Amino acid sequence: MNYHCKDCSYRGNSSGQDGSCPACGSFKLGRISRQDDEKPKAGKLRLTLLVGLWVYLIGLIIWKLNH
């Protein structure tokens, strides 16, 4: 289980006493689950698709200008 502190951006496998952040003592310590790790990947995939679409459109415009 990984922990992530929202106050000092601590990331580690262990939490402090009574579930507080071992780095700054904050209680805003969140657990990083697998679902949270998959979300940025989905965003990256969407960004890649968007960039690919733009490259296709720009290529089409350049092709039309040359023909």
Binding site for Zn ion (CB under 5 A): 5, 7-8, 10, 21, 23-24, 26
To the nearest whole angstrom, how small is the minimum distance from the Cβ of residue 20 to Zn ion?
8
To the nearest whole angstrom, how small is the minimum distance from the Cβ of residue 39 to Zn ion?
22
Nearest to 32 by CA among 5, 55, 57: 5
> Which C-beta is closer to Zn ion: that of 7 or that of 37?
7
The three-class DSSP label of residue 66 is helix
Angle at 24 between CA 18 and CA 25, to 5 degrees: 20
* Tokens linked to 15: 């939490």
To the nearest whole angstrom, how small is the minimum distance from the Cβ of residue 5 to Zn ion?
3
